[in-house]
Structure 1
Amino acid sequence: MNEQPSETEELGEAPEAARKYFGDRFGDAVRYGELLADVGVRRGLIGPREVPRLWERHLLNCAVLSEVVPDGVTVCDVGSGAGLPGIPLAMVRPDLRITLLEPLLRRTTFLQEAVELLGLDHVTVVRGRAEEVLGTLKPVHVVTARAVAPLDRLAGWGVPLLRPYGEMLALKGDTAEEELKGARAALQKLGVVETSVVQVGEGVVDPLSTVVRAEVGESPGGIRFAAKRAKAARGKRRR
C-alpha cells in the first residue's frame, strides 16, 4: 500500500453504537474505515461522497447482518468488492469461516491487504466469479451480498454455492419486498423453498438494514442450473 497521499476526506468520529457493536474489534473497525476512506477511494472501490457516512451506511449497516447469520457456519460473500458486508461481518463474528469472492484483481488485492492488516485469520479471499468457482469452492451454509445485482440475477450466482438447507442473505433497500415479488419464479427454479424480508439493527442503525432471505431445500436445483450455464458459457468462448 505504498501509494502517494491524496486529498481524501478523513473518516469521521464513530457513533457510540459502533463502539458497542464492534466491541474488542472497534480499533480494527476504525482501521478498516480509514482504509476505505483513503486507499478505497483512491482505487475507486468506494465513492468519495460515501466517506462521511461510512460508519452508519456501510460499516454498521453491514455488521448488523450478523443478527441473522447462524452460529459457526461457513459464509461466502459474493461480489465482495471493498469487503462489504464480509469484512464488518467477520469483525463481529469470529465464529464464522468467511470467503470473500470477487472477480476483479484490484479489488481482491485490496481485500487481501485489508484481511492481513486486520488479522482476520478466519477470512479467505478468492478471485473469481461465482459460476467459475462452482465445483471448486466447497458449498457453504450462507451466501451474503450487498449492492451486487438485482435479486433474480444475484440468486443465479449465489444460490448454487449453497449446501442443502443453506440460505442466501442479501442486503437490499426500500424496494426489497417488490424485488422479491418479481424474483420469486426465478428463485423457485433455483430450488429456493422459502423467502422472507427481515429488518435488523434495531438501536444500531437508522433506518434499519433490510435483508432478503432465500432458503433452499434438501436438493438445491440451482446447482444443476448453474452447471449447465457455466458449460454453455465455456462453449461460447471456444467458438
Structure 2
Amino acid sequence: MSDETQAQADQGDADAVLGQSAAVRAYFGAQYDAVARYAASLRAEGELRGLIGPREVARLWERHILNSAAVTPYLGQAGSIADIGSGAGLPGLVLAIQRPDVEVHLIEPMERRTAWLQECVEDLGLQNVQVKRGRAEEYHGAFEVDVVTSRAVAALSKLARMSLPLVRRGGAMVVLKGRNVEREIDPARKVLRSFKTAEPEILEGSTVENVEPTTILRVRRP
C-alpha cells in the first residue's frame, strides 16, 4: 500500500469514527439514523455513480454531511426550500432530513443524478421532497420558495441570476461558499441591485466541536 493510499485509509477511518461519535449523534438528534443511512449510501455508491470524487469518500462526514448541515440554522422559519444543482443531495437532502417540516425541491439537470436523488428519497421515506430535473432557470416563474440553497454551483454573479428569481419577497439565498467568497461580491453587485437585495452577509456555519466551520453567504430579498 502506498503512503498516499494509507493516508486516505486512515482519513476514512477517522471520518467514520466522527460519523458515529456522540457529538454527531447529539447534533442530528432524532434525525441521526436517517442522515447516517444517507451517508452510508453515498459512501458505498457516490464514487461509482460519479457523485463525489474518490478523495471525498474518506472525508464524507466532515466535508460533505456536516458541511451541508451547517446551513440549517440559517433557514429560520422557512416553509419551503429549493436546492439548485443538487447533485448528490448536498446540501438539499441533508436539510430535508433535518427539517421534515419544510417542503424541499431538489433541482438537478443530470438524469443519472436525479435518479440517485429519487432513490434516496424513496429509501429514506422522505415525504417533504420533490425531485425536479432541469436547470434552475427552467423553473423561473413556475414557483417561489422561502430559501434557495446551493453548493459549489457557480460564482455569485451567475448564481444570483439563477437563484433569486426563485426567492419570494422576504426570502433569501443561503449558499455554501469558499473562504474567498468576499471577492465574488463586488462583481455581482449589478445583478444584486437588479433584484433589490439587501447587502450580502458572510456567515460562519458551525456544527460540532473540532470540525472546521464552513462559510455561508446569505442574500436577503426584502
**Which TM class, normalised by the smaller chain length?**
0.7 to 0.9
Distance apart, 1:33 and its partner CA: 1.0
Q: Aligned residue for 1:196?
A: 201
- CA distance 1:107–1:96, shift in 2 (3 Å): same
SS at match of 2:47: helix
Deviation track 1:2-22 (CA, whole Å, cap 9, x = no partner) reads xxxxxxx88723143321111
Q: Quick check: 1:119 aligned with 2:125?
A: yes
CA contact (8 A) 2:27 2:207 kept: no
Q: Which amino acid aligns with 1:20?
A: A
The one-letter code matched in structure 1 to 2:16 is G
The amino acid across from 2:108 in the alignment is E
Question: How far 1:201 sits from its partner (Å)?
Answer: 1.1
Contact 1:77 1:85 in 2 (8 A): yes
Please report how far the alpha carbon of residue 32 of structure 1 lies from its aligned counterpart in structure 2 after TM superposition. 0.8
Give the root-mean-square deviation of aligned CA atoms.
Answer: 1.9
The sequence identity of aligned pairs, in percent, is 44
Summarize deviations over 1:20-58 as a string: whole Å, max 9, x none: 111122121121111111222111011111011111111
Q: Measure how far apart 1:186 and its partner are.
A: 2.2
Q: Distance in 2 between matches of 1:204 and 1:165?
A: 33
Q: Deviations over 1:151-205 (max 9, x none)?
A: 1111110001111121000101110222223322221123323321111215446
Q: What's the TM-score once normalised by structure 1's chain length?
A: 0.82
Show structure 1 runs of 5+ residues with no match: 1-8, 218-239
More deviation, 207-216/181-190: 181-190
> How far apart, CA to CA, are the structure 1 residues paired with 2:106 and 2:214?
21
Kindly indicate whether the alpha-carbon contact (under 8 Å) linking 2:69 and 2:207 is maintained by their aligned counterparts in 1: no
Match of 2:188 among 183, 186, 189: 183
Pick one of 21, 37, 41 that aligns with 2:43. 37
Count of aligned pairs between the two proteins: 209
Which residue in 2 is equivalent to 1:103?
Answer: 109
- The answer to whether the Cα contact below 8 Å between 1:19 and 1:26 also exists between their aligned partners in 2 is yes
Shift of 1:95: 1.8
1:152 is matched with 157
Corresponding position: 1:214 with 2:186: no
- Match 1:78 to one of 84, 88, 96: 84
Q: How does 1:20-59 map to 2 (within 5 A)?
A: 20-59=26-65
The residue aligned with 2:16 is 12
Q: What is the TM-score of this pair, normalised by structure 2?
A: 0.88
